[in-house]
Amino acid sequence: MALKITDACVNCDVCEPVCPNKAISLGEEYYVIDPALCTECVGHHDLPQCVEVCPVECIIPDPEHAETRDQLARKYAALTHANEGDAA
């Protein structure tokens, strides 16, 4: 499933640059994760990098966007294939 950032976020700026899918951006009050782009780093890393670097542990699974690991892998494939087409 996609991840989400809770309101415990302190806007420390460490999660955004480690996201390989550019799914994290600064929201109105704190950072947010775009569920359409979040693959929990499937296809890139063994563990979600944002969770690994978050000092306040405010990044959690988003129950509103439940996805299996296979679904995340398919999303990764679609995102990377789309990105390859943009480069051409």
Confidence of residue 88 (pLDDT cuts 50, 70, 90): very low
pTM: 0.88
- pLDDT tens, residue by residue, 18-38: 999 999 999 999 999 999 999
d(CA 42, CA 47): 8
- pLDDT tens, residue by residue, 26-75: 999 999 999 999 999 999 999 999 999 999 999 999 999 999 999 999 99
Q: Name residues whose C-beta falls within 8 Å of residue 31's C-beta, 6 or more positions apart in sequence.
A: 5, 9, 11, 15, 16, 24, 25
d(CA 11, CA 81): 31
d(CA 79, CA 84): 9
Q: Residue 57 forms beta bridges with which residues?
A: none
| Domains observed in the chain | 3-87 (3.30.70.20)
